Amino acid sequence: MKLIKSFAMVLAIMALCASAQAVSLTIGSGNYYVSVGDHDYLPYAYGPGYQPGPINFQVAMGDYGQWTQMQPFGQVWQPYVAQGWRPYTEGHWVYTQYGPTWVGYEPWAWAGYHYGNWVFSQQLGWVWIPGNTYTPGNVAWAQGYNSIGWMPMPPAGYDYSRGYIAYVGPQNQFTIGNSDFSVGIGVGGGYYQGGPYYDPRYRDMYYNQNYINAAGNLWTFIEPNYFTSDNYADYYIDGNYAQQMFNQHIVRISTQPLDRVVVERIVRQPVPVRQVEVNQINVDGRPTRLVRVQGEEQDVRKNANRVVREVIAPAFAEKGRSFKGPQGKNQAGLNRVLNQGETTPKVETVDSDQLVRQARQMKEREDQRRSEVRQKKIQEVDTAVKEGKIRQPNTPPGQLKKEEDTRKRNSQVNPQNPPEPNRPDTERQQQEQNKPGNTNEDQQNTPRDNRPSDRRTNENMNRPPNPPTEEQQKDQQNNRDKNHPEQVPPDRQVTPPDHSNMQPDSDQHQNQRDENAVKKDTDQNKNANANDKNQSDKDKAKKKKNNKKDKNNNDNPDQPPPER
């Protein structure tokens, strides 16, 4: 009996697998779109031909994914999407009266990107927590070197500072201000470091290894020139690039919607303001705002089938699910807004195995291309650091590179022979003379520059000093008497005049100062005349010596003249 039951279970499992393998999906072909669920692209389908009744998120989002439990959030929604997908990549940003507003191309984008929160789980990947309050795009913004990025914000009080989603309280990663956002751009393409690394309150939250390892799954960056593109799926940079931005301390973060001038300053191009159409629907018993960006119908028509085929259909095939197709509740509204009401339906039935195989091949190509873009951007950042374009706050252009060159030169100095400190020349010369094998004779035999000024210096050094004149001797004797009055003989002592009976008078003091000045000038003139006389005597002696040498040379014509 047990054997029969086991055999029946095996047959049931085999039948289940066969049915899963035999599932085929009917999807639109070309620009013709076939509904996936009952509420595809609701803001665009809403209109005279279609106005939905009360909506329950549990039912409506169940057409596009599955609900599961995740603590501590309770019921969360996990979309059916291809492997490697992340939120806020299939679409683009436009600027509206609400700020940067996300236009997504997934059929459920109207709900998933404008209500509730996205959180990342290591076990489940990206999951959505429902909400009823409209937001243009519930993300935190990041500014890097020649890039702009964003990441979905979790519910209040939660962050990823520990490397995973957890409640940390009112003070968390997403309470950081945006005081330095967009201010780090320098003249000529330079960039100043900034962001949470330079804020002691948030440095440890962002700059710990657990968070940096998780940053690659959380942040999405693009180059500024792609910001106005209609789809970021082909341009976004993920993975190690975000980690590189944090390691270079150049990520600035803002948790508030960005002003248009801030966005234009970062992307370096005009960002137009788009008009919106606002309607009201009932979701889970509450009035809820439904916002439609005017003029986006063409982008939705262009990208809807591509996203369904590449992102949505492979996951449906793996789960054994099928699309609603023409039976979708809002198919008539989509036909109107996508201009396919009078068009013959163009559909094709695709085998699930074929869809999964095509999706895997496409992912491999996308991963390869995205890896090349990531490596290129990382090299760009490394080059900018080496060239001094990325520098510390309040550092002049090129200063960072000079400091780095100085550090390299200092690191090349042999620590066993550190450079000598500055010492007086006399001390250094004394040490040179005291070195073993270095004698005065060696110094005398050292060749020198025989310039005339050097010869005069040598002659003056070897000549005995001239005897002082009579006036110089008298001045020297007076100086000795002043400095040592106790040694002055009685015959040279001078009795100072008695001024006890004299009254202080300004004229008298002025006369005394004049006499002192005249005496000082006289002494200076005497010293100058004596110096002139000494110099004259030196010149005469030198001329006499040279004449004597010339006479000796004339007496011996065979002797060559001395080398000059």
The answer to whether residue 366 is domain-embedded is yes
Determine the 3-state secondary structure of 509 from DSSP: helix
Backbone phi and psi for residue 405, each to the nearest 5 degrees, phi listed first: -65, -40
Nearest to 304 by CA among 28, 536, 8, 22: 28
Q: What is the pTM of this model?
A: 0.67
Give the CA angle between residues 162, 241, 189 to the nearest 5°: 120
Please list the ranges in the chain whose pLDDT falls under 70.
1-23, 178-179, 183-190, 394-474, 476-536, 538, 540, 542-564
Give the three-class secondary structure for 339: coil
> Domain range spanning residue 202?
18-390
Burial readout 390-400 (b: 16 or more C-beta within 10 A, e: otherwise): bbeeebeeeeb
E strand residue ranges, 284-429: 286-293, 347-351, 390-391
Chain Cα centroid distance, residue 56: 45
Residue 510 belongs to a domain: no
Place of tokens 């039948």: 15
Q: What is the pLDDT of residue 181?
A: 79
Q: How do residues 57-91 score in pLDDT, each as one tens digit?
A: 999 999 999 999 999 999 999 999 998 899 999 99
Is 526 inside any structural domain?
no
Q: How many domains does the chain have?
A: 1
Strands 252-254 vs 91-96: parallel, antiparallel or unpaired: unpaired
In a domain, 172, yes or no: yes
Q: In whole angstroms, what is the distance from residue 155 CA to residue 152 CA?
A: 10
Kindly provide the residue ranges of all beta strands, DSSP E only, lying in 306-365, ordered along the sequence: 347-351
- Domain-embedded: residue 338: yes
Of 361, 354, 348, the C-alpha closest to 318 is 354
Alpha-carbon gap, residue 220 to 237, rounded angstroms: 6
The answer to whether residue 189 sits within a structural domain is: yes
Whole-number pLDDT of residue 441: 42
Q: Tell me, what DSSP letter sits at residue 387? A: T
Is residue 13 in a domain? Answer: no
With CA atoms as reference, report the closest residue to 28 among 331, 314, 308: 308
559 found inside a domain: no
pLDDT at 407: 43
Number of neighbouring beta carbons within 10 Å of residue 296: 21
Give 12's Cβ-side CA count (13 Å radius). Answer: 6
